[in-house]
Each structure stands twice: as C-alpha cells, then as structure tokens.
Amino acid sequence: MCGRFAFDSETKAIEKEFNFAINQNILFKCRFNIAPQQLIAAVRETDEVRKLEYLKWGLVPFWSKDLNIGKRLINARGETITEKPSFREAFQSRRCIVPASGFYEWQKTSEGAKQPYYFYVMGKPIFGFAALWEMWQDETGKELETCTIITTRANEALKPVHDRMPVILQTQDYDEWLDEKATNTEKLQQLLKPYPAKEMGSYQVSSDVNIPDVDSPKLIENLNSK
C-alpha cells in the first residue's frame, strides 16, 4: 500500500518534471509526512490545460452516501481497478498524478515492532504516483474533491519490507495518463506496473514518522548515517 509519503522539492522542479506552469495563487510547500485524509497536491489536466490543485487524500465516489468511505479508499489496486465500482469510472476519465520525492513503508522486526523505511528513486528528486480523483456533492451542492493513489505488486526493492508499492509512472507516460481523451483502459492499465527495482534505493528512518503531526526534514534522514 501507500500510506505516507514526502515531497521535498521546489515549485520550479514540479513545473519542469510535469511540463506546465503553476498558478502563482497556489500555495505550495515541502512536506515530509503526508498522511491520508490530508489535502495533497495533484496534477490534473482539463481541456488540455494542466494544473496543480489540492485534493483530499481518500477517494469518495460520487455516488457514495457516506464520507467516511474515503478513509478506506486511500489506495486502489491497479490489478482490479477496472472491476471495482469505487474506481471504475474515475479510471476512465478522472486520472491525476501526485508528485512525490519518496514514500514510507514499514517492516516488522523480530521484536514485533515496525521499522519505517524511506524509499526513493535514484537520481530523480521528483516523480509522480498514478492516482484517480473524484468530485462528490452533498445535498446542498457543496463540493468535495478527493483522490486515491494506485498501487501494484512490490518490486524486488520493496519485497523485503512490504508486498505492495505505489505505482510510479515513467516520465514519458505522464501525457498519456493525464489525457482526458485516452479511454483505452486496457492500455492504460499496462502503465500500472512496478517501478524498476534497480533504479530505487531505501534506508531506515526515525519512527517519528508514525506521528502524523510531525513534519520535519529529519524524517527523511538515514537513521544509520548518524
């Protein structure tokens, strides 16, 4: 799964990586402990215009009567995304990319505790998770936009720690993923694969990441390099 991630990069890096200019009215800052149910930055494309916008992490399908469903839908399994009613329509036409610089996973220790690890892409300070978004309205017409991060089976770098990982898109696939006119879901689903393990690195980090209110660059420091 993907339950926590970090984004440690400047606005210019986002613009360069995803090939668009960020609206200056969008307030963006680096974060090191992004958790479910928080607002997270996402790149979307509407009428061929690419934008960075904030969505609540935890997808609420447009047909849902219960907002709490979003707490359970922080991730969508890529293998079954075309089968699940919660994700099927969003996959066809409401795709987005969540910028990240790394993510966390936890490994059980012999003592029973869980040791957090930070995973990153070597030589790539910024990358994009494949994600979906939804628009939900209450009875008064008030709107809520939410999103979910897509996961796939773990690559060899992740397997010792966890059996799932977020889908990290290849840069050359961003345009196809964001294209509203791309409706061939079978072809799009082929993009939902594990990132090459040889291009990824990881290390142990502080258990302080377990506390959602803690947000500091120290969270992504290598625990064994001190």
Amino acid at 177: W
Query: Catalytic: which of 17, 45, 105, 145?
Result: 105
Q: Is 2 a catalytic residue?
A: yes
pTM passes above 0.85: yes
Check residue 25 and give its pLDDT: 65
pLDDT digits (tens, 9 = 90+) for 50-95: 999 999 999 999 999 889 999 999 999 999 999 999 999 999 999 9
pLDDT band, very low/low/confident/very high, at 150 (cuts 50, 70, 90): very high
Q: Kindly report the CATH number assigned to the domain that includes residue 21.
A: 3.90.1680.10
Query: Catalytic: which of 2, 45, 134, 147?
Result: 2
**In what order do the strands lie in the sheet containing 5-7?**
31-34, 5-7, 102-108, 114-121, 200-204
CA distances from 114 to 106, 111, 187 (A): 6, 9, 37
Q: Is 156 a catalytic residue?
A: no
Domain that holds residue 10: 5-225
Count of domains for the chain: 1
